[in-house]
Amino acid sequence: MNILANSETPLHQYTNSAARPPSRADGEPAPHAHADPETGAAIDRISRRLGNVTTQAFLPECAAAFRDELQADYLLIGRMNPFSNMMRTLSFVGRDGPLENFVYSLDGTPCRDTVNNGLCFHTDNVAQAYPYDRDLVDMNLSSYAGARLSSADGDVLGVLVAMWETPLRRKDVVLDLMTHFRDRIGGVIDATERVARYSWAIEKVFGGVWEWDLRTGGTTLSHGMERLLCAGSDGKGPYDLARIEKTIHPEDRGRHVSAMQRHLNDGVPYDIRLRLRGPNGDYRWFVSRGDVIRDADGKPERMIGGFCDIHDAVVTMRKTGRV
């Protein structure tokens, strides 16, 4: 079923900004108070389809869900470069499924009006309205609907766009669906990029990051840490601290254990130099740092730490007699 089936309500060109729909505390879209039963049912179908989707698969599945529900000929989720006039598609789908992502200029396009105004609708003759946008002509497009995507801080991230080769009907339905979900889509884009940036920074500063559950003994490794220890393929374990400690040089294990105990028991910072055995069996020098996280009663709950590779610096200092 699709929400636009058998609908004959005529529409007119519409370009305007609109308030965002409310969200529940758990991040899910709040019930759509102004939607008619058909629109509410469409929102429920899209929500169920996206309910158990992983973050990595969210955007492609979201684009496909919107395309199917709106019976659009094309649907894209685009990410704008804030320092240029370019947009790149994060997910682009057509009638027959996913299409290759591409980069395009915003000059002279309805996407520019979408970014500037929040919403942009052309129910017919969109190619005539934007004569310098050759893609509209080449794709034989008649109607366009776009909603601006923003972060929780209000930064413009990109656009959600549906396009048809025929005139658009039921603008109210498309408007409701886009405004209902655009905060969620923008939130996923923003969160994904933040995680990627933080992960990159952490991996650059530390050769690997680990998290130790002090109650269960389980340890989670970052991909960099997993590669460092050659412990597996996904960084999730199951591991235990003893297994990881076996990679520490025998001469350094005592200092490591003593430093860990002083940190947990007395709050002395855990910050030592030690050698770790890599996948090829050779040892390299690292700085090992970590901090304990305590529960509401002050009891140690978890410990998070990382290793920073200082091997080349140590070797150089030893050759020059500075260590």
Query: For the whole model, what pTM was predicted?
Result: 0.62
> What confidence category does residue 17 fall into, taking pLDDT thresholds of 50, 70 and 90?
very low
What is the number of other CB atoms lying within 10 angstroms of the CB of residue 188? Answer: 21
pLDDT digits (tens, 9 = 90+) for 101-159: 999 999 999 999 999 999 999 999 999 999 999 999 999 999 999 999 999 889 999 99
Q: List the beta strands (DSSP E) in 245-282.
A: 270-277
Give me the percent of the chain exceeding a pLDDT of 90. 51
Nearest CA to 41 out of 177, 182, 184 is that of 177
Provide the 3-class DSSP secondary structure of residue 273. Answer: strand
Nearest CA to 18 out of 188, 178, 164, 187 is that of 178
> What confidence category does residue 4 fall into, taking pLDDT thresholds of 50, 70 and 90?
low
> For the chain, how long is the longest CA-to-CA vector?
85
What is the number of other CB atoms lying within 10 angstroms of the CB of residue 204? Answer: 10
Give the chain's domains with CATH numbers: 14-198 (3.30.450.40), 206-319 (3.30.450.20)
pLDDT of res. 306:
84
pLDDT of res. 137:
93
239: pLDDT strictly greater than 60: no
Please provide the size of the chain in residues. Answer: 323
User: Angle of helix 171-205 relative to helix 55-70, nearest 10 degrees?
Assistant: 170
pLDDT digits (tens, 9 = 90+) for 201-220: 666 666 678 888 887 777 77
